[in-house]
A and B are shown apart, each in its own frame.
Chain A
Amino acid sequence: MTDTVGGVLTIALLVALLAAVYVPYGDYMARVYTSTSHLRVERLVYRLSGVDPDAEQGARSYAASAVGFSLVGIVVLMAVQLCQAALPMDRGLPGVGLWMSFNTAVSFVTNTNWQSYAGESTLGFTVQMAGLAVQNFLSAAVGIAVAVALVRGFVRTRSGSLGNFWVDLTRGTIRILLPLSFVAAVLLVAGGVVQSFGDTMMQALSGHPQVLTGGPVASQEAIKELGNNGGGFFNANSAHPFENPSGWTNLLQVFLILVTPVALTRTLGTMLGNRRQGVAFLGVMGVLWSLALAAATWSEVTGQGAAAQAAGAAMEGKETRFGEWASALFAVSTTATSTGAVNASHDSLTPVGGGVAMLNMMLGEIVPGGVGAGIYGILVMAVLAVFVAGLMVGRTPELLGKKISARQMTYVALYTLTTPALVLVGTGVAISRDSTSDAMGNAGGHGFSEVLYAFTSAANNNGSAFGGLTVTSDFFQVTLGLAMLLGRLVPIVLVLLLAGSLAAQGRVPATAGTLPTHTPLFVGMLVGVILVMTGLTYFPSLALGPIAEALA
């Protein structure tokens, strides 16, 4: 078996597995969010939380719940980190510093999981499993809830309600994320991922003392991938053998990363009563993901760049058990979703490989995007695409039976401006500071790429990094923290307002003049709009970093 055959078969198996669960998993999620009955355990959760599960919420109330829940999560998670020394299983570690705890709390609550800390040397087990991992579940469930609310906006007519945030949040957690995480965690333990509650000091065979690090890793690893979080238990993330021990655990992790965002296109189609629409969106995502994978794999496997040529292959920052193929597959999948876990050093990827990772995030996390965030992201881009198409033919744009007027376009325009503004202003301010060049781990264009990657990752809630950049200064902790916070909450509020304005409308009957949005023509149109938008926004900054490096 050659590396090429193995690599191609791996991708084929991944696609086959995703195809196999697409319909049942997607339809299951649709049932979860449309069912009118509550499980007994859910009723208990509602009673303990003091919420009425049968109350309906309008857009503003739904948004207040989502934002309020996120802000409370940040405060609690900060407190847990600051008080680490007083918690059990602290491994003798002190409380986390103020700005690092702020950055980390925002990072996990916003589903970013940017890591300015090194897990094994900064955090005890309680903070990891009862603080961070809890937000891994809940932030993912928030993302799906917001996506479902937007779909309801298209489904409902003359309605003032989008559902109940607390019910959507609880069901997503209890009925979807928790059972799947449990199964995945057990599989990972069987593959060698650690799940224990203590470190062991040992006299290594080589004579050098070494700590056999323990911890509740598998339980966190499962939801880290399934919830598109990406925050590793260890600093090296999924490159660490205790997080990702073998070729098959690596494939399982890539599958977990992709399965929910992919299947949510089916959920959307089922809820809309228009399954072809879900397939069309999946087609857009599939096209862009495949192009990204082809480019990154070519660059990594052929070993582009001076370092790879000196070594004979692009193995700097890669693990032997994965090699170039499985590392490229992971890198593309983790950045195309908003996961941000890494099984290889992205900073050391070849110029095109690292550039593709950055570009994937700049697309706005929609190929297929984060859990939930990918669905509302692609729906917003679809609104933009029908608007552009409407301008071309001079008709009022419609999407899925809803008129797109000035009000909707205002929300969409603000949505599409928020993240690029955070990325480009953040990068610009950082680059203008003298101290930033000291923080860079690499000189020249690659140093710029490190800073651009950091703000792109933070504002798009990805969380992966060009890790050479030292981000522990107060400046980076605060600015990247704000980029994550605004890059999450502003789009969520805008999406919910958009959903509310759509739900309030009646339904426009489709006529001969309506642009069908499930056809290959529209898929091509949407791919084009996404690429043009991203290109116009980011080309100058990409030219200074990855493009300059690739041409060097």
Chain B
Amino acid sequence: MLSDLARQSLAGLRLLLVMTVVLGVLYPVAVWAVGQGLGDRADGSPVRVDGVVVGSRLLGQQFDGDAWFHSRPSPNDHDTLASAPSNLGPLDPGLVATIRERRAEVAAREGVEASQVPPDAVTASGSGLDPHVSVAYADLQAPRVARANGLPLAQVEQLVADHTDGRSLGFLGEPGVNVLELNVAVAAAATGGD
């Protein structure tokens, strides 16, 4: 049995090396080669302003200040080298307190009742890099962003609508507003470029 195990293991080692070439090198390179024909999605869907990459449409960023739409709370400050959720449990008293604090903060920032603050504004996402906020949270922020940028509210609301990703095929997943692309559009409108 033991000598059989040793003999089999040697065959296994040789097979593993052969398979490493096929599965570990040829396969990913082939996928990469095909991916190059699919636009810049394989490179992380970069968003450019004047030719300069300012982010990825799929990665949430930290936005502070009144001129920007804010992303959802992130346990890691949107560090892409440390994607993570909070991992706090459903009954955790600390999490409940944090949610209440966030609710008060958002309500004060947007000048609305605490009860109007939507769930995604007070909860951290699964990755800490959620590129979206709910349509409700974007609508809540629109008046402040319009004011801070000196833009008509109707124009900002139109930008929110333009940058809302609907459900895939109309029913898969849930709609969300892409915060980075929306902020790029707001900045362009504020400087008169759009």
Contacts and interface: CB of A to CB of B under 8 A. Distances in A.
Interface residues of A, number: 124
Interface stretch (B34-42, B139-147, B155-163): B34-42
Interface in A174-217: 178, 181-182, 185-186, 189-197, 200, 202-206, 208, 210-214, 216
A49 B87 contact: no
A78 B44 CA distance: 30
B127 A241 contact: yes
A248 B169 contact: yes
A203 B77 CA distance: 15
A250 B20 contact: no
Interface residues of B, number: 103
A194 B172 contact: no
Nearest to A3: B174
A306 to B, nearest CB: 5
Interface in B10-52: 10-16, 18-20, 22-25, 27-28, 30-32, 34-35, 38, 41-47, 49, 52
Contacts of A322: 126, 173-174
B55 to A, nearest CB: 5
B58 to A, nearest CB: 4
B42 A195 contact: yes
Contacts of A9: 171
A479 interface: no
A345 B126 contact: yes
B33 to A, nearest CB: 9
Interface string A266-310: 000000000000000000000000000000000000001111101
A68 B81 CA distance: 36
Interface stretch (A133-141, A256-264, A408-416): A133-141
B41 A190 contact: yes
Contacts of A304: 90
A219 interface: yes
B20 to A, nearest CB: 5
Contacts of B128: 236
10 contacts: A5-B171, A120-B80, A178-B22, A189-B42, A239-B83, A246-B165, A311-B122, A311-B123, A319-B126, A351-B90
Interface of B: 1, 4-6, 8-16, 18-20, 22-25, 27-28, 30-32, 34-35, 38, 41-47, 49, 52-56, 58-64, 68, 72, 77-93, 95-96, 99-100, 103, 117-120, 122-134, 165, 167-174, 176, 180, 183-184, 187
